[in-house]
Structure 1
Amino acid sequence: MADSPLLSGKRILLVIAGGIAAYKSLELIRRLKERGATVRAVLTKAGAQFVTPLSVQALTEDTVYQDLWSLTDESEMGHIQLSRAADLVLVAPATANLLARMAAGMADDLAATVVLATDKPVLVAPAMNVRMWEHPATRANMRLLEERGVRRVGPNKGDMACGEYGFGRMAEPMEILQAIVTYFEERDAPKPLKGKRALVTSGPTFEPIDPVRYIANRSSGRQGHAIAAALHRLGAEVTLVTGPTRLADPPGCAIRPIETAREMLAACEAALPVDIAVCAAAVADWRVAGESDRKLKKDGGGPPGLTLTENPDILAALSQSTSQRPALVVGFAAETGNVVEYATAKRIRKGCDWIVANDVSPGTTTFGGSENTVHLIRDGGIEDWPTMGKEAVAARLAEAIAQHFNQPSATTPDQTKQENVP
């Protein structure tokens, strides 16, 4: 990365907020300049208590912008132009106060205004006391910003200037630099799935028993969300149909939130036609027949009898559609034993093209965890992938899908595949 051509000529608008970590922003400016980037800086009033405008100006070799109401700055470089003249807006350090104002859409100083007015990507490097970072308000603000597409690097764990220990230290300059390089790598990478439409299902479904209870499973949605993001990075137009999760929505994807399997099927059918369907959701196989519209009460007569009925089979419905079948349908098989054997049979039974089989036995931490061990089963055979992070699994699967569509024999939704339809 030391001589990364990706940063040559790139324009970075650096917002420096108040906090002891502001001193790291000086090193960051120097590292960016070494790699050919142009850096303009906005220094907040609080930030100027930790680093001087003169030191920032000397390193950026440009005007340091501080005052929203400076007539000179507004005539020569208005805040709208300043916010949009960059390739990337970087907030480092991003304090709890500034993150809160960004989440609320405030424009009460130059820093908040340029972030609100920009149409460019925003990367934040949070820095604050561990208790402030862990506070529900800060976590909610960060979650909201990420849902809007703001990227984040850090914070790191370590000793604080206040003497406490934990997460809250701003990422080191070289880590932030790598995050910037990663952004431009993703932005400038080839888009082999450009022009393709993809449908991804993710998360669990909640099947109500009564207004307060439901049948569900332990799926976190992390694998499905990662697949949606990976397909989008390769240029696909992605619709993500997702059950209830605690995850941020993948940037750039059309999100269709649902709760039940019936709602998921309806949302999937509404998204058609698509070229690619990846059914990664852990859909409940059964629901209660005749759910109660009132909370079921304990009356001393024992637990109520629940009659279950089968939910619609979304993977089979998409695979066996005779009118709008996607050109490539990928299913998931979560098994607790005989993983490959059961998944192979499921692929034939459902009529999908590929099956991604994974072991969700107790102790694997696949459900709710960050790693996955999968087997990709398709006509050409079985690929046993090593254990890797779910984001890495998603990237590898997206690459396999891109390779499939770049083969001369790849089909489109109008060329419906019939060989797997019973």
Structure 2
Amino acid sequence: MRIAMIGTGYVGLVSGACFADFGHQVTCVDKDAGKIEALRRGEIPIFEPGLDALVASNVKARRLDFTTDLTAPVAEADAVFIAVGTPSRRGDGHADLTYVYSAAREIAAALSGFTVVVTKSTVPVGTGDEVERLIREANPSADVVVASNPEFLREGAAIRDFKFPDRIVVGTDDERGRKVLGDVYRPLSLNQAPLMFTARRTAELIKYAANAFLATKITFINEIADLSEKVGADVQQVARGIGLDNRIGSKFLHAGPGFGGSCFPKDTRALVKIAQDHDVQLRIVEAVLGVNDIRKRAMARKVSNAAGNLRGKTVAVLGLTFKPDTDDMREAPSIPLVTGLLDMGAKVRAHDPVGMEQAKKELPEIEYCTDPYECARGADALVIVTEWVQFRALDLARLKNEMAQPVVVDLRNIYRPEDMAAQGFIYESVGRAPEPKV
């Protein structure tokens, strides 16, 4: 199959490389000439484990290439995927579909022969209808089917998620469209990946509903963590106890500083706006957003409660990205945390294994350090924000020796309270009572 992938962001680049690895002929298109030239040189604009090798191997095999001009790739394609950005629209929280609609118009002009145009970007319900209208308006003679194929990729595990998916959702009622997309995904049949065909609008809603539900699980366990601290329970054991129930499941029941990233905040806000446009109230999702925003802002107070008045003190922050194995800083909990610490008069220094260049754009006023121990040097408190594997086995004796005061606030529950107390730390975590100091 010949595939044109419009957009070389996170979804477009991962999807394009994986499709090429299946044996398809894939051309990734982007208007950013600098990005395309970098990709041709083998430079990957995002951090995703294994993506650089995957791109390189498929470029070498001549199954994957990059261009700024969509004309030829679209004309030759069996399927054209739209994988451009849909950020929150400034001011109202709706998804900004400017790039999607612009891509649709350009695709329309280049179509030749029967083609399936697929929205892979996360888009509100009904977007496929508008994409189809725009294409038919621009090119009335086009032989085209417009389908929805939402992505369910986790940053840091995207390649595995693409190749071993829980499900593949394809939204189209057209038999020709179903056949083309069935052929595109046929290599995954060996992995017994469920291929689910639905109506287009249903597929669009599935993506938003899935992200909103996962965000709800995170927010739920964070509220249970607050209750656990008050009543002397251990939220990790509570999460395990409820997660062993097959009706609930253990994933996304890890208490922490709140959810962030490119999907959950944006998509839950957009889902609320979609519902409001149709005179429906999603009270649970609205509450999830409110609770999560409050929680992220409250984490600075948690540090202050552990370390005392922060004015003039130095706080070391370990981890800046919204999750490990990515350099993505979008809506990362570290941003309101650091902002809150600065507002309290603290000096902040930080370390992240891969995210510091991106972090400097969001947090230019803090000091950046090359390793955790340099970051901790002379600090009055240390905060673990992102659960990078590099932070899970720190030399605690060395860490304590570097710090001015042995105060650790672990927002990811990486360490055990009894171990930290044995090392002489004042240790605060999430949803667990502090171990008495020995």
Normalised by the size of structure 2, how large is the TM-score?
0.24
Which has the larger helix fraction? 2
Which has the larger strand fraction? 1
